[in-house]
């Protein structure tokens, strides 16, 4: 089963739509993030796992693979925490597949699941408006 959530990256002064695909495979439990993520995006693994657990939801005991497309665009910052968490929550069955397909989702998660502000909101909002 594949969960898909749309997010946004900022390249220069422009927003670029990023497709966040989340799936699980057999193997040791863990999270792998691919698609040219920086260190802050790689750290999303721990923030997302802890936030989902502290929200009282089940985090799958599988190997989770997160692909941030397009792979040629560098993904920076913690703005992908919320879209990754929503993808995991969809995989767990707590949220229907496609529940946020008409949205662009960005947000840093605190360890208790509270959504925090992210940088680049203005270009991201302009990109979201053009997309809808």
Q: How confident is the model at residue 1 (pLDDT cuts 50, 70, 90)?
A: confident
CA 82 to chain centre: 5
CB contact burial 41-54 (16+ within 10 A = b; e otherwise): beebbebbbbbbee
Residues paired with residue 75 on neighbouring β-strands, in sequence order: 37
Predicted TM-score (pTM) of this structure:
0.95
Q: Are 15 and 120 in contact (CB under 8 A)?
A: yes
pLDDT at 132: 63
At 17, is the pLDDT very low, low, confident or very high (cuts 50, 70, 90)? very high
Q: 131 falls in which pLDDT band (50, 70, 90)?
A: confident
pLDDT given at position 90: 96
Tally of domains within the chain: 1
CATH number for the domain that contains residue 70: 3.30.230.10
Mean pLDDT, rounded, for 94-122: 93
What is the extent of the structural domain holding 79?
A: 2-131
Edge-to-edge strand list for the sheet holding 63-69 = 2-11, 14-25, 63-69, 30-34
pLDDT of 93: 92
**Please, which residues have CB within 8 angstroms of residue 53's CB and are 6 or more apart in sequence?**
59
Q: What is the per-residue pLDDT across 66-86, written as a single tens digit (0 to 9) for each? A: 999 999 999 999 999 999 999
Residue 7 CA, chain-centre distance (Å), reads 7
């Amino acid at each position: 089963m594949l969960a898909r959530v749309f997010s946004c990256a900022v390249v220069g002064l422009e927003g670029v739509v990023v497709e966040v695909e989340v799936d699980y495979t057999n193997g040791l439990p863990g999270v792998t993030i691919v698609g040219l993520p920086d260190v802050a995006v790689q750290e999303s693994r721990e923030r997302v796992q802890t936030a989902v657990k502290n929200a009282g939801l089940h985090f799958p005991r599988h190997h989770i693979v997160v692909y941030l497309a397009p792979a040629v665009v560098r993904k920076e910052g913690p703005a992908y925490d919320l879209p990754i968490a929503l993808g995991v929550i969809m995989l767990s069955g707590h949220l229907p597949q496609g529940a946020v397909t008409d949205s662009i989702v960005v947000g840093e998660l605190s360890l208790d699941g509270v959504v925090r502000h992210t940088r680049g909101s203005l270009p991201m909002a302009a990109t979201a408006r053009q997309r809808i």
